Structure 1
Amino acid sequence: MTLSTADQSKLESFWQHCVTNQYFNIGYPESADFDYSQLHRFLQFSINNCGDWNEYSNYLLNSFDFEKDVMSYFAELFSIALEESWGYVTNGGTEGNMFGCYLGRELFPDGTLYYSKDTHYSVAKIVKLLRIKCRAVESLPNGEIDYDDLMAKITADQERHPIIFANIGTTMRGAVDNITTIQQRLRQAGIARHDYYLHADAALSGMILPFVDHPQPFSFADGIDSICVSGHKMIGSPIPCGIVVAKRKNVARISVEVDYIRAHDKTISGSRNGHTPLMMWAALRSHSWADWRHRIKHSLEAAQYAVDRFQASGIAAWRNENSITVVFPCPSERIATKYCLATSGNTAHLITTPHHHDNSMIDALIDEVVADAQLEAWRSTRAPAQQTAGERLPTASFNLRTHY
């Protein structure tokens, strides 16, 4: 491959941009401290994992053996026997969520999908693509699903086969829907276990809860039917990817035979990136259980450090149990842009992924938030007539009130 001098210069500029901003993301949940240099040589091959990794494929350049190891790891992590499960390495959390909803719809074609208003935006796309009846459920102040509203809507709909979309760590607040409570409430309403489907979106927290001392319920042992986790978040990957695991008996409903590759396909995407299973395999093989526990402990301690620093300065910050997502009132647009913060309404968050080896970026962000808040408070005490035009703030750029 030969590029012009101008094109090479453009690539070099992008390289410098990436190097400069590699560890920028305090507002988004992507771990950046990964090293897959041992896999660089495989980029010269078109590795395509089309079909079932547990079967022979006529397309020989696949990484099925590595994908099988990855799925074995996550089956154990999520408490289901490998032979009773099936899943695959996806293109990301949205595909994993679509796979779970697809299985639920195939099991209950007339069922209604229930999800909280704190659920990831992709679910709205998924219900349109799959044409599933759906109902948005209110959320509690901390971001959990409102269990009373969930049951009220199921009762009002007279739904006997609900498909429940549970969040194991919501996007903005890191909240975990209590799947034990959901199941108890369904049982009390007379809905038997075999009459509903329960999918768990554990995009971020799926690699947190297995490694803490007191996790909320999240696994197949706790009653879920499928679960997905992102590979580019707590694990870290240069390519967005994910892992979805489901009960094999439910996956069998969607299997199709593909004669020209002599294999069965059970996936959403068909042809799949064969490089990401290699990356997930390398990441899992190069980190021990103790390593993961250490990474998670470090991230949780950093999150609590941020909460403590915010609160000591009078900023109403908080986090949910076992969450590395720190929620605080939305700062000025300048700060949000500078630190690439995710914001929603009057709320922002920072996320303490493992590549933040010290608290320097947390401190820098909090220092600016506090300085802006103090300046706003000072200016608000002065009568408008006393302020010069240059002193006036354009609008209230910082809200010290929490969302409760």
Structure 2
Amino acid sequence: MAREAETHADIPFGPEDTPWQKTFSGLRVVGGRPYGTPPSSDPREAYIAVPEVPHHKVQLPPTGLDANQYTEAEALFRSHIDTQTRNFAGYQVTSALDYEGRLGHYLNRHLNNVGDPYQSGSYTLNSKVLERAVLDYFASLWHAKWPHDPKDPESYWGYVLTMGSSEGNLYGLWNARDYLSGRPLRADPRQPGRETAAGQTPRGAGAHAFHPVAFFSEDTHYSLTKAVRALDIDTFHALGSTRYPDDNPLAPGTPWPRQVPSTEHGAIDVEQLAVLVRFFASRGHPILVSLNHGSTFKGAYDDVEAVARTVRGICAQYGLDSRRVRGESGGPEERSGFWVHVDGALGAGYTPYLEMARDVGMVQQAPPAFDFRLPDVHSLTMSGHKWMGTPWACGVFMTRTGLQMAPPGASEYIGAADTTFAGSRNGFSALLMWDYLARHSYDDLVRLAARCDDLAAYTHARLLALQEQLGRDLWVARSPQSLTVRFRQPRADIVRRYSLSGETVHADGAARAYVHLYAMRHLTRQRVDELIGELRQPGAFPRSP
């Protein structure tokens, strides 16, 4: 073993290809041997290569990098990132950012928004005063009652996420699980929650009264699958496959589908969702539905209003529209037996402005309502790095105060109730979002939404024209009002150059390798034309079925 370690210690390491065991200073050699373990193999061969940034140039020897080595490594990485930023087209994030000159000062300040946004507590190095302004902005934009009032169950409650909408989905489903399972709400913002007494059964239900079942479409972002696994929430597929294996109501005698089927454009199929919901509602299960608002590969918008109306109607038939559970005081408490969550990672930050653009005649159509105008929308999330654009993932989660779950325990140490998911939360994100919204009026964002909608239509038209010119089906498609256009996957070097997101889509019984392009604000017609030019060249699309 020692001889093997010595051999591995000879592996060249760092910008000068120095054998690993010789990269230590005298202070880091203990008993004549370097501190730590040597590499078990050459990292340059173990990792995916980034040709523009040779791995040995950025490796970190124990001595660190000297000034020249650092300058070279950082220049290589900067050039690579700048090139990829210039061509970035395949993902629903904005890369045209403008924060450095104004906000660089705060990079040397620790901003931690730990705990509830509406309680500053004793941890004063935070940006909660800005966070509250951002949350009020989105509460108004999403037609919620604001400002937040802990005594008003109809007012909104929310917080700025440390991650993107994946955290918002996780928190929303956690809140939904506890709400539908009869666990305590946050009756007193100063007190931690207490478990509901076992055996309390809501009116009109039986043995499954506290066993919620989750539904989401086959086009839903993969974070929902992670969330239900992490939270141990049964999906209709998992429960149906184990308890009712031969009773799939969509096709009796066949395996249960893993997700709710979608339409051609990627929106959840409301009629098939209704069949599945009815199956479980009739057996007394609370219903948890997660919907998409522009947050899928196809960029589709689920018809939130139609789904909410359908789910409520079915639940009403089985006593799940309003049911009594034991509250914090031990007395009866009215709750619905269903929860509708909306993943609006991109769309929730974009379509309100598109709706305004439609109302003044700048565009012809906008997606259907998705927000708190609909009384049966229980929670909503959005990513800040997508439509607005931030240097890192962040976002907003929002629900109604009366639906807010109780914190799992006391948090006296920070001087504020920890009602969020992450604990320590990045306070810089609230600052970035505040800065962006402070510098852009509704009018600015309405014009921008109309321009991006026009760019998506332009891209769609150019790809259709290319398809006709090449005489080959490129599977070009754009879902209604979507900012994304999808088409046949081209050569690997083109995919990498433009960071085109890929996904296998099944159509007409065959698997098709697609990519898509997102018309975000940093993208231009010139860049689209450059991509079309590359796609026009011989061999741009590999010959495949």
TM-score (norm 2): 0.66
My pick for the range that moved more, 167-176 or 251-260, is 251-260
| Matching residue of 2:516 | 349
| Contact 1:29/1:353 (<8 A) preserved | yes
2:288 maps to which of 130, 148, 163: 163
Instruction: Give the letter aligned to residue 147 of structure 1.
Output: V
2:351 counterpart of 1:203: no
| Matching residue of 2:478 | 319
Shift of 1:328: 1.8
Shift of 1:302: 0.5
| Contact 1:143/1:170 (<8 A) preserved | no
Pairs aligned (count): 377
| Bigger RCO of structures 1 and 2 (CA < 8 A, at least 6 apart) | 1
Rounded to whole Å, the distance in 2 between the matches of 1:88 and 1:190 is 30
Rounded to whole Å, the distance in 2 between the matches of 1:187 and 1:165 is 14
| Matching residue of 2:229 | 128
Structure in which a larger fraction of residues adopt helix:
1
Shift of 1:42: 0.8
| Contact 2:214/2:234 (<8 A) preserved | yes
Please show how residues 267-286 of structure 1 align to structure 2 within 5 Å: 267-286=420-439
**Percent of residue pairs identical:** 29
Per-residue CA deviation, residues 200-247 of structure 1 (Å, 9 max, x unaligned), is 001011122101223311111123111111111110111211111111
Per-residue CA deviation, residues 117-159 of structure 1 (Å, 9 max, x unaligned), is 1100111111111110113211111101122221222223335
Instruction: Give the letter aligned to residue 400 of structure 2.
Output: K
| Contact 2:261/2:272 (<8 A) preserved | yes
| Matching residue of 1:366 | 532
Instruction: Give the letter aligned to residue 11 of structure 1.
Output: E
| Matching residue of 2:217 | 116
Rounded to whole Å, the distance in 2 between the matches of 1:187 and 1:66 is 37
Query: Residue 22 of structure 1: SS of its match in structure 2?
Result: helix
Structure 1 residues 286 and 150: alpha-carbon distance in aligned structure 2, compared to 1, 3 A threshold: same
Rounded to whole Å, the distance in 1 between the matches of 2:112 and 2:535 is 47
Shift of 1:372: 4.5
Instruction: Give the letter aligned to residue 344 of structure 1.
Output: E
Query: Residue 107 of structure 2: SS of its match in structure 1?
Result: helix
2:214 counterpart of 1:143: no
Segments of structure 2 that go 5 or more residues without pairing to the other structure are 1-63, 149-154, 182-210, 237-258, 323-335, 359-365, 469-473, 505-511
| Matching residue of 2:11 | none
Instruction: Give the letter aligned to residue 59 of structure 1.
Output: Y
Rounded to whole Å, the distance in 1 between the matches of 2:278 and 2:407 is 30
Please show how residues 7-156 of structure 1 align to structure 2 within 5 Å: 7-36=70-99, 37-82=101-146, 83=148, 84-90=155-161, 91-109=163-181, 110-135=211-236, 136-156=259-279
Structure 1 residues 16 and 200: alpha-carbon distance in aligned structure 2, compared to 1, 3 A threshold: same
Rounded to whole Å, the distance in 2 between the matches of 1:215 and 1:147 is 16
Per-residue CA deviation, residues 70-123 of structure 1 (Å, 9 max, x unaligned), is 100010111101221111111211001111111110111221111111100111
| Contact 2:452/2:520 (<8 A) preserved | yes
The structure 1 segments of at least 4 consecutive aligned residues displaced by more than 6 Å after TM superposition are none
Rounded to whole Å, the distance in 2 between the matches of 1:132 and 1:226 is 17
Structure 1 residues 63 and 225: alpha-carbon distance in aligned structure 2, compared to 1, 3 A threshold: same
Shift of 1:275: 0.6
| Contact 2:315/2:337 (<8 A) preserved | no
Shift of 1:255: 6.2
2:373 counterpart of 1:221: yes
Instruction: Give the letter aligned to residue 305 of structure 2.
Output: T
Query: Residue 264 of structure 1: SS of its match in structure 2?
Result: coil
Rounded to whole Å, the distance in 1 between the matches of 2:461 and 2:368 is 23
Rounded to whole Å, the distance in 1 between the matches of 2:424 and 2:102 is 24
TM-score (norm 1): 0.88
Structure 1 residues 263 and 72: alpha-carbon distance in aligned structure 2, compared to 1, 3 A threshold: same
2:454 counterpart of 1:301: yes
| Matching residue of 2:15 | none
Query: Residue 98 of structure 1: SS of its match in structure 2?
Result: helix
My pick for the range that moved more, 92-101 or 319-328, is 319-328
Q: Please report the RMSD computed on the Cα atoms of aligned residues, expressed in angstroms.
A: 1.9
Rounded to whole Å, the distance in 2 between the matches of 1:205 and 1:302 is 16
| Matching residue of 2:399 | 246
Rounded to whole Å, the distance in 1 between the matches of 2:313 and 2:435 is 45
Rounded to whole Å, the distance in 1 between the matches of 2:462 and 2:294 is 23
Rounded to whole Å, the distance in 2 between the matches of 1:367 and 1:54 is 52
Rounded to whole Å, the distance in 1 between the matches of 2:71 and 2:459 is 41
| Matching residue of 1:385 | none
| Contact 1:167/1:202 (<8 A) preserved | yes
2:498 maps to which of 339, 354, 358: 339
